[in-house]
Amino acid sequence: MKKTKLLQALFFTMLKIGAFTFGGGIAMLALLENEFVSKRGWLDREEFLDMVAISESTPGPIAINSATYIGYKMAGFAGSLLATLGVCIPSFAMIYLISLFFYEFLSFEYVQYAFMGIRVAVVFLILSAGVKLFKGIRKNLLSVSLLVLTVGMVLVSSLFSVSFSAVLYILIGGAVGFFAYSWFRLKKRNREDET
């Protein structure tokens, strides 16, 4: 694919995803996975999971981080710039338009009903993204234990209205993963030294 066509494809694909995703970056993951893994084959499933982990753990919105990552992987700096612009333009335009007529906009009864419907769709998109991510991870004792522990903590926090930052979950998961990897690597090295 020529670089110009690739840049156009990146921009317009991210523009489409930015325009039709409600509920933030997590809700966008299902669309990103469908577009870049299933449809276009620009990322494989393993790399997509790595992109999600990197995008979630670096500063900034996951949608922008993902767009920047995919754009850079596919077409370098120009790709990252166009993909990031593409995903940001719809949100910026929509927020700008809404801000001009904010109170009038919210006073419409049909707008309130539309937002109720969008909330349900967002829950579905987030759940769908979670299921797809779960299917893609390697199932071993560590990953399943972390998943069960995280879901348990989220449920307990929600039931008892305890405020628990998602950043803390990410940091704890990263630390546990790092120490588990180091421990398994050290154990493997010790076994090799014994033989």
User: Domain spans of the chain?
Assistant: 1-135, 138-195
**Quick one: pLDDT at residue 31?**
80
Helices (H), ranges, the chain: 3-20, 25-33, 45-57, 62-100, 102-107, 109-136, 141-159, 166-194
**Quick one: pLDDT at residue 190?**
80
What count of residues does the chain have?
195
pLDDT at 195 over 70: no
Percentage with pLDDT > 70 across the chain: 93
Q: Which two tokens stand for residue 15?
A: 């523009």
Q: Which of 32-36, 88-92, 137-141 has the highest mean pLDDT?
A: 88-92
Q: How many CB atoms lie within 10 A of CB 145?
A: 12
pLDDT in tens, 32-76: 888 888 888 888 888 888 888 888 777 777 888 888 888 898 888
The reported pTM is 0.57
